[in-house]
Amino acid sequence: MATGRWMQGAPRKILLATDLSARCDRAFDRAAFFADEWNADLVAVHVLQEVETFVPGGGDVMSSWRRPPNARHLAERRMRDDLQALYPRLDIVVEIGDPAEAILRTARAQDCDLIVTGVARDELLGRIVLGNTVIRLARQSEIPILVVRKRGRRPYGNIVLATDFSDSSRHALEVAERYFPNRTLTLFNAYDAPLSLMAADTVSHRAQFREAAEREGRMFLRTAGLADRPGGKAALVLEHGDPDQRLYEYVTRNDIDLAALGTHGRSAVFHALIGSVARTLIETLPCDVLIVREPLANAGA
């Protein structure tokens, strides 16, 4: 993929990673919507895994080398019928191998600027299930990952940036502003007040940490140049408590369309973003999630 091109403006080529199941229907809608909005090219990749599979109607397993030779052709035909018929400008790629590796390989070969994918729903338990592929993409992708939850038939209106005021979250903010200008933007920070339960005056103790967060937040807004943004000033929201829980509550209450998250920040939520906390956030947040990896992290990958 072009070095740094995705940091210079809206994506010019989007990669839809699809397993051809219902989990990716909304991701396809969103990817097609953005391809039209940005006048970008759209590529869809489906990966046939090299794993043992059960023979239909039997109990034996069939090794990958015994897969029917037309498996790739069948996948291509289904992509044409299910996706290209709805979006004729779509380019189709079918790969064989490890899903995450094949998706990243395709993104590089196709010179893509954004990867769009979906999440699956456990119908029995009524919860979202995040596959290991998405977590691995979040760990390894040099370009942003958009995980789609909502229907993609209208522009994003309300966007929240989960920030710890680090360079990583500043970078995620810059990407969100370039991709989605003139939107309602909120900077959300969940701060901690260590040892507050041991303080003589818990309220005063927490107030001191809130004041410190406010000062840092105002400085972040000022240095990020958001005072004169075309969409109006960005709001700053500060909440005391666990970042993932407070962010979920805020997104739920305020009908947020997109949450942008930077990786490799200072706080625990961002340090662990590509681990268990990322899984929690993406599985629970009732909105789409944009994961932006810090360029320094990319350079050191």
139 and 160 part of one domain: no
246-275 burial, b at 16+ Cβ within 10 Å, e below that, comes to bbbebbeeeebbbbbbbbbbebebbbbbbe
How confident is the model at residue 199, as a pLDDT? 52
Instruction: Give the domain-ending residue among 153, 185, 214.
Output: 153
Give the pLDDT band (50/70/90) at residue 200: low
How confident is the model at residue 207, as a pLDDT? 81
Average pLDDT value for residue range 134-156: 86
Give the pLDDT band (50/70/90) at residue 24: confident
Average pLDDT value for residue range 203-211: 76
- Mean pLDDT score of the chain: 79
Q: Which amino acid is at 189?
A: N
Instruction: Give the domain-ending residue among 116, 133, 153.
Output: 153
147 and 168 part of one domain: no
> Tokens for 297?
């992290």
185 and 301 part of one domain: yes
Give the pLDDT band (50/70/90) at residue 20: confident
How confident is the model at residue 68, as a pLDDT? 58
DSSP annotation of 56 = T
Percent of the chain residues topping a pLDDT of 90: 35
- pLDDT over 80 at 272, yes or no: no
201 and 116 part of one domain: no
How confident is the model at residue 33, as a pLDDT? 95
Cα angle at 103 between 160 and 271, to 5 degrees?
40
Residue 3 has phi, psi (to 5 degrees) of -65, 115
51 and 169 part of one domain: no
How confident is the model at residue 35, as a pLDDT? 96
Give the pLDDT band (50/70/90) at residue 166: confident
Cα angle at 178 between 176 and 181, to 5 degrees?
85
Lowest pLDDT segment from 80-89, 211-220, 224-233: 224-233
Parent domain of 122: 1-153
- pLDDT over 80 at 161, yes or no: yes
Higher pLDDT, 209 or 178: 178
1 and 145 part of one domain: yes
134 and 229 part of one domain: no
How confident is the model at residue 139, as a pLDDT? 78
Higher pLDDT, 132 or 47: 47
Query: Which of 20-34, 41-55, 89-103, 273-287 is modeled with the greatest confidence?
Result: 89-103
User: 110: domain CATH number?
Assistant: 3.40.50.620
88 and 189 part of one domain: no
- pLDDT over 50 at 260, yes or no: yes
142 and 190 part of one domain: no
CA-to-CA distance for 119 and 282, rounded, in angstroms? 9
86 and 205 part of one domain: no
pTM over 0.95, yes/no: no
- pLDDT over 50 at 52, yes or no: no
CA-to-CA distance for 113 and 1, rounded, in angstroms? 7
Instruction: Give the domain-ending residue among 153, 172, 204.
Output: 153
Percent of the chain residues topping a pLDDT of 70: 73
135 and 227 part of one domain: no
Average pLDDT value for residue range 74-89: 93
143 and 165 part of one domain: no
How confident is the model at residue 181, as a pLDDT? 87
Give the pLDDT band (50/70/90) at residue 265: very low
The total domain count for the chain is 2
